[in-house]
Amino acid sequence: MPRYRLTIEYHGGGFVGWQRQASGLGVQQVIEEALHAMLGQRGPCPEVFAAGRTDAGVHARGQVVHVDLDADFAPERLLTGLNFHLRPRPVSVLHIALAEPGFNARLDATARHYLYRILDRHPPPGIEAGLVWHVPVALNAEAMHEAARHLLGHHDFSSFRAAECQAKSPMRTLAHIAVRRMGPEIHVSAQARSFLHHQVRIMVGTLKLVGEGKWQPGNVAKALAAADRRAAGPTAPPDGLCLTAVDYF
């Protein structure tokens, strides 16, 4: 039974998240049903396994999944057929290849890269609506970057962890975080082997307080040291968050 590795992009708006759920439509369900339709199979849909379970409203440009199929397909044929059956959903398969033996999209990942986009201007977004967090006041990107540096490294990130997070430990190693002004937007990029539930969004919501001048950069270090969710800022909305890439050995 061949295993395939897929790279996928999707607009998270309108989905309940990556995972198939009874409460609404998940990206996983859309892909599995497209595979089922393409293969013309009876019985249950093939199950796809993702590198990361993005939340409702969160987007992806480099989600990686693996799936086992009962038949051999040329990757090019599978790519064309799958994208045909994904229409008109805002989901696209960018690349398909035969996976290495034993490859696991989630367990073999060595780093996950996220980008959070903030549009900090008074007029609301038109073209980028649903893809950015609209903040109607100018933010200080330099102060936000200075504050973000306190989060680098191996820490107890309990202050930046959702109450419903199911991870066994709050310890995580943040390998990269940077805040940069990109024209009318502020971009927050973050990289780690794994993240806690809502970690990136809580970090961004906290850094926004610094950008507004309500917090000093050092307050972020104090929030981290408190290891208490109440010490950090609000959770930023999902709109601006995108899983951009997943690294493997």
Residue 59 sits in the same domain as residue 115? no
The residue assigned the tokens 């109440």 is: 230
Does the residue 58 lie in any domain?
A: yes
pTM: 0.96
Does the residue 57 lie in any domain?
A: yes
pLDDT at position 40 is 81
Which whole number is the average pLDDT over 211-232? 98
Does the residue 103 lie in any domain?
A: no
Last residue of a domain, one of 54, 77, 98: 98
pLDDT at 17 over 80: yes
Query: Parallel, antiparallel, or unpaired for β 241-248 and 109-119?
Result: antiparallel
Last residue of a domain, one of 66, 98, 130: 98
- pLDDT over 70, % of the chain: 99
Contacts of 75 (CB under 8 A, 6+ apart): 4, 96, 97, 98
Q: Which domain holds residue 213?
A: 109-248
How far is 193 from 75, CA to CA, in rounded Å? 28
Domains: count for the chain: 2
pLDDT at position 89 is 97
pLDDT at position 191 is 98
Which whole number is the average pLDDT over 106-132? 98
**Residue 112 banded pLDDT, cuts 50, 70, 90:** very high
More confident residue, 43 or 238: 238
pLDDT at 204 over 80: yes
Does the residue 49 lie in any domain?
A: yes
CATH code of the domain covering residue 69: 3.30.70.580
Average pLDDT score over the chain:
96
Q: Which H, E and C letters describe the chain, residue by residue?
A: CCEEEEEEEECCCCCCECCCECCECCHHHHHHHHHHHHHCCCCCCCCEEECCCCECCCEEEEEEEEEECCCCCCHHHHHHHHHHHHCCCCEEEEEEEECCCCCCCCCCEEEEEEEEEEECCCCCCCCCCCCCEECCCCCCHHHHHHHHHHHCEEEECHHHCCCCCCCCCCEEEEEEEEEEEECCEEEEEEEECCCCCCHHHHHHHHHHHHHCCCCCHHHHHHHHHHCCHHHCCCCCCHHHEEEEEEEEC
Dihedral of CA 36/37/40/44: which sign? positive
pLDDT for 76-102, tens place per residue? Answer: 999 999 999 999 999 999 999 999 989
Which whole number is the average pLDDT over 140-151? 98
pLDDT at 44 over 90: no
Residue 128 sits in the same domain as residue 174? yes
Active-site residue identified among 55, 108, 120, 239: 55
pLDDT at position 170 is 98
Does residue 27 contact residue 41 with C-beta atoms inside 8 Å? no
How far is 243 from 10, CA to CA, in rounded Å? 10
Active site residue 247: no
Residue 119 sits in the same domain as residue 92? no
Last residue of a domain, one of 44, 64, 98: 98
